[in-house]
Amino acid sequence: MLIDIHCHIDLYDNPQKIISDCNNHDIYILSVTTTPKAWEFTNKICSTNNRIKTALGFHPQIVSQRYEEIKLFDELLPRVKYIGEIGLDGSYEFKVSFDQQLSIFRHILKSVKQDGGKIMSIHSRNAAMFVLEELKLSEGIPILHWFSGNKTELDKAIQQGCWFSVGLPMIMSKKGRIIISSIPKQRLLTETDAPFNKYKNNILMPWDIELIFPELSHIWNISIEESIEIVFSNFRKLLTTI
């Protein structure tokens, strides 16, 4: 059984086709969204496949244009078990909105805490320390998606109980492989972050996540089958936490 814990199904050209094609694969998917407005429709189409769940998200790169959607976020929150994509982006092009990002992220974490905690898929590009500071007071399970922080930040994240979701671009880079080898095996999940990522010039499909296992089994020094089993058992454990 495969796991894609961070996939933007609604952003494919034909999401319904992807959702129906997923029936031909043994895969569980967390379909993350980037704005609260996208949740209702995405959840509706994904609900046709009971192995796909839809997360309520508010992507840090677009919060400044859609600030007012935070009200909708709070309205929808009691209906969901999964949150994402949320977080902070400290990259040069998004620095200008960092204060707004921070206020939205804080608001979301507070709302999630009041609602009893959720599983959260979190973006932390160039902002890992800020994200980890905010998470200290949060409730639920944070999954750091495509983590790219330094060693100090990684150690802090592990110490704070964060989980990690890793994908093909990450495992194909040297820096990514070093991070992956330091992540505790029992806190690792797999993700495509599709359709943003390509592999050998093709847009990734959720089931392409199986391509990560030869690499992962190499890093872990175990068989491909054992690696698949570890990630699946992590996923099952995650579901029992909330």
Q: Which residues bind Mn ion (CB under 5 A)?
A: 85, 193
Residue among 4 and 85 whose Cβ is closer to Mn ion: 85
Q: Whole-number minimum distance, CB 192 to Mn ion, in Å?
A: 9
Q: Whole-number minimum distance, CB 121 to Mn ion, in Å?
A: 8
Q: What angle do CA 224, 225, 228 make, to 5 degrees?
A: 85
- 120-129 burial, b for 16+ CB within 10 Å, e for fewer? bbbbbbebbb
Query: Among all residues, whose Cβ is closest to Mn ion?
Result: 193
Residue among 26 and 42 whose Cβ is closer to Mn ion: 42
Contact 7, 30 (CB under 8 A): yes
Q: What angle do CA 144, 146, 150 make, to 5 degrees?
A: 80
Quote the CA–CA distance of 173 and 215 in Å, as a whole number.
11
Residue among 41 and 196 whose Cβ is closer to Mn ion: 196
Residue among 78 and 91 whose Cβ is closer to Mn ion: 91
